[in-house]
Amino acid sequence: MALISSIINGLAIIAGAVIGVFLGKGLPGRVSGGVMQGMALCVLAIGVKGIFDGENFLITIISVAVGGALGSWIDLDRYLNRFGALMQKKLAKGGDGSTFGEGFVTATLLVCVGAMAITGALDSGIRGDHTTLYAKSLIDFCSCMIMASTLGLGVAFSGIVCFLYEGAIALGGSVLASFLTDAMIGEMSCVGSVLIIAIALNMLGMTKIKVVNFIPACFLPLLLCLFL
């Protein structure tokens, strides 16, 4: 059951991309914009709801502050962007001018590189809570439909990569779950929910938070729950 949401996410990406290919470029910008804003509001609601899973908000504050400092010092966001640029350069330009490679690479980065994929997969594996990845599936469905209308069928193949990526994290989380206390799981969920709120604010264009730099914060409750 830990993999069910990863499977659904992968299928949603493929389905969205196939529909987008048939739509071509006939989807008005105002429609796609409205859909993505609606998805952002749903993500915001999920993040706000998840904050209440924690019982000691001091752990959340310390985790976000220290985790954000650590991630920003390492500059995880910059490394991921450099990796994405390298993939784009290596694979995106087909010799025949096809956009297949570009669609695959761009969509893969969109659906895999982000805090929602990691926190959602961890929730699925550790808590058996698929809410975040189900919401992400809807967002990815809409995003890949819009993207595939321009970049073509290559977008669909990112669904396979997304399933493998999220599935591996979920399985790792399910193994880890037996070693975690209820308090640790709740505090990790609370911290992850803070990052999900940041994702929603970015989607709405209200902020430009480098959420990837805060990923280390998700794991700090494992240590802090032993002392606080």
Whether 166 shows a pLDDT value over 80: the answer reads: yes
The alpha helices in 52-177, defined as continuous H runs, are 57-74, 76-91, 100-112, 115-122, 131-151, 158-176
Confidence band of 27 (pLDDT split at 50, 70, 90): low
Whether 227 shows a pLDDT value over 80: the answer reads: yes
pLDDT digits (tens, 9 = 90+) for 117-145: 888 898 899 888 899 899 999 999 998 99
Confidence band of 147 (pLDDT split at 50, 70, 90): confident
Mean pLDDT confidence for 150-156:
84
Whether 195 shows a pLDDT value over 50: the answer reads: yes
Instruction: Look at the chain and count its residues.
Output: 228
Owner of token pair 């310390």: 62
> Distance between CA 215 and CA 72 in Å, rounded?
10
- Rounded to two decimals, the pTM is 0.74
Mean pLDDT confidence for 149-178:
88
pLDDT digits (tens, 9 = 90+) for 37-78: 887 888 788 889 888 888 899 999 999 999 999 999 998 888
Structure tokens at 197: 């709120």
What is the pLDDT, as a whole number, of residue 53? Answer: 86
